[in-house]
């Protein structure tokens, strides 16, 4: 564990022969009916407890299924937070289980605040006593340096990583990230430059989130963020393909897919774990077939 996050990330990609990162986004109504029914019958009236247990069992099943084909998993904290404290406790179990299965865990929380609040958030994920001890965390840098440094400092001290949002994959990204800076160029380009600078100050810690749904900007982002590991969301359900991002499949860059893998059973009609495994394997093979490395 006493090695930088970037070194461990590189080793994981090489060991698995995979750049796949599987998003764990457990939307209750879309989870397998037989799993929900069996837990609800066992738990009874305690619906909050039942939901948490379904999330735990589902995410454990997905982790087990994709472990041979993925380098990392990325639990989305919002779904667990929405389901209440029991689900957040279940997430503790999911994180531990994923790490035991040899997967890196990237907490998708997109935290971002200033001063002591940022320090508290960082401690929740990176400190030796962290309740959710992820290997890396997504962080929103749009509040500036004093909102970022507490995460970077705590991550560096504990050999963890921080993925800072540079250019996100959602359609609304253009509303803010394409605004023109007074110094010229769009906001996202200025933020990418800041991320590159922070990477130099905190070696082995900093990564960047860059949407695979914007391949033209991604080409430019690769130059600005040279040597910074990228997390590329938007593959699959959001529309990006392996061919779209083949030029970015290099170094320690990861490609993330959530719905396309964890809900693959909706298309296949078969066992949800087998469907997830097949989808993760297919994604791995598609990416490897066009990899720039």
- In terms of Cβ atoms closer than 10 Å to its own Cβ (0-12, 13-18, 19+), residue 80 is buried
- The DSSP code sequence of 135-194 is SEEEE--TT-HHHHHHHHHHHHHTT-EEEEEEE-SSTTHHHHHTSBPTTSSBHHHHHHHH
Contact assessment for residue 231 and residue 240, using Cβ atoms and an 8 Å cutoff: no
Cα atoms in the 13 Å half-sphere on the side-chain side of 140: 11
Torsions phi, psi of 4, nearest 5?
A: -65, 155
* β strands within the chain, DSSP E: 20-24, 72-75, 104-111, 136-139, 161-167, 206-210, 230-232, 254-257
Specify whether 16 is catalytic: no
Residue 169 near residue 234 (C-beta atoms within 8 A): yes
- Region of 17 please: left (phi>0), alpha (psi -120 to 50) or beta: left
Helical (H) or strand (E) element with 259: helix 259-262
C-alpha torsion angle, residues 69, 93, 90, 16 (rounded to 10): -10
Q: Point out the catalytic residue in the list 74, 100, 110, 282.
A: 110
Q: Catalytic positions, please?
A: 110
């Amino acid at each position: 564990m006493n090695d930088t996050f970037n070194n461990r990330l590189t080793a994981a990609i090489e060991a698995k022969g995979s750049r796949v990162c599987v998003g764990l986004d457990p939307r209750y109504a879309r989870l397998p009916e037989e799993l929900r029914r069996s837990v609800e019958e066992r738990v009874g009236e305690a619906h909050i407890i039942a939901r948490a247990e379904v999330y735990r069992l589902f995410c454990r099943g997905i982790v087990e299924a994709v472990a041979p084909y993925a380098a990392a998993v990325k639990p989305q904290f919002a779904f667990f937070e929405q389901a209440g404290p029991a689900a957040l406790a279940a997430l503790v179990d999911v994180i531990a289980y994923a790490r035991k299965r040899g997967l890196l865990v990237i907490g998708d929380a997109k935290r971002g605040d200033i001063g002591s609040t940022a320090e508290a958030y960082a401690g929740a994920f990176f400190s030796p006593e962290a309740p959710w001890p992820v290997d890396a965390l997504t962080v929103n840098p749009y509040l500036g340096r004093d909102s970022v440094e507490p995460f970077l400092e705590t991550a560096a001290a504990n050999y963890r990583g921080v993925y800072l949002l540079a250019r996100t994959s959602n359609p609304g990204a253009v509303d803010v990230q394409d605004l023109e800076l007074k110094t010229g160029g769009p906001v996202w380009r200025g933020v990418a430059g800041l991320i590159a600078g922070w990477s130099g100050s905190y070696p082995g810690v900093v990564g960047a989130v860059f949407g695979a749904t914007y391949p033209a900007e991604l080409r430019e982002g690769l130059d600005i963020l040279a040597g910074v590991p990228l997390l590329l969301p938007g593959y699959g359900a959001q529309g990006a393909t392996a061919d779209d991002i083949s030029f970015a499949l290099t170094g320690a860059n990861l490609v993330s897919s959530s719905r396309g893998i964890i809900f693959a059973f909706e298309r296949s009609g078969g066992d949800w774990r087998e469907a997830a495994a097949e989808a993760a394997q297919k994604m791995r093979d598609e990416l490897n077939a066009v990899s720039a490395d």
